[in-house]
Structure formats: C-alpha cells, structure tokens
Amino acid sequence: MDASLPWLDALKWDENGLIPAIAQETATGRVVMFAWMNREALQETVTTGNAVYWSRSRRRLWRKGEESGHFQKVASVRTDCDGDVILLSITQEGGIACHTGRESCFFNELREERWAAVEPVLKDPREIYKK
C-alpha cells in the first residue's frame, strides 16, 4: 500500500469500485458483519462516525441502522497490509447487527456437514422492520 497517496486513493478497489468491510465489536472483538463499501460510503463513514455501506442488492448507499435503528458507531477504521480490506471497530447500538435479529451475521456453524444456526434470535425481524 502506498501511504504517500491520498488515503482513499491508497486503497485497492475492485473492478466495481468496492472494497470488503468487516465490522468488529470494539468491546468484545467479535466480528458481527461483513459488507461492501464504495468510496462515498467510506468517506461518509469517516466524516459522520456512523457505518455506511454500499448495498449491492439495493444499488445504493446503506446507512446501517436507517431502517432498524441498529446503528454502528465507528471507533476506528483500519486496512490490511495490502490495502484491500477495511476493518471497522464499531459499537453496535441495540446489540443486533444482523437483519435476522441476531447479534452477529455469523450465526451459522458447520456441524456434521450441515449448517446449523447456533445463536438465538434476539428480536423478531418483523418487529425490527415494520415497512
């Protein structure tokens, strides 16, 4: 990574102008989410202190918590040695990062060659997303 470049230019964006982003809970170190960011999302994240991602399915910026109220307050932004992955240290408001109503999106575990949900739903998604 070329640290002499402006910070956004120093990153390695994919052919679609995206970079993978991992959200990790500051207090516990637990990875709660993976998403994509474009330049605008990363710039807004740094400017506002709230996590903003690029939604590939919606094809627009996704301000985490805009519908659910489960915002992510960003404590720090890091990149790996190659400059091709972003790591956000966040505080997850409401304790729910996943649209399924769980603490983390990483709740499926491989058990005997099958995926099993190993963490509880903390809040029914129908109560979170009332639209």
- Helix then strand count (H, E) for the chain reads 2, 8
**Residue 122 maps to a domain:** no
Provide the domain limits for residue 38.
19-97
Strands 72-79 and 60-63: unpaired
**Residue 44 maps to a domain:** yes
pLDDT of residue 3: 77
**Residue 2 maps to a domain:** no
**Residue 30 maps to a domain:** yes
**Residue 108 maps to a domain:** no
Residue 45 CA to residue 49 CA, distance in Å, equals 5
Tokens (6 digits) for 93: 């408001």
**Residue 107 maps to a domain:** no
pLDDT digits 0-9 by tens, 91-113: 999 899 999 999 999 999 999 99
pLDDT digits 0-9 by tens, 43-82: 999 999 999 999 999 999 999 998 898 999 999 999 999 9
Return the CATH number at 55: 3.10.20.810
Q: Residues 66, 100, 26, 42: is their CA dihedral positive or negative? A: negative
pLDDT digits 0-9 by tens, 2-56: 778 888 999 999 999 999 999 999 999 999 999 999 999 999 999 999 999 999 9
Task: Quickly state the pLDDT bin for 87 (edges 50, 70, 90).
Answer: very high
CB 42 within 8 A of CB 54: no
Tally of structural domains, the chain: 1
Residue 100 CA to residue 80 CA, distance in Å, equals 29
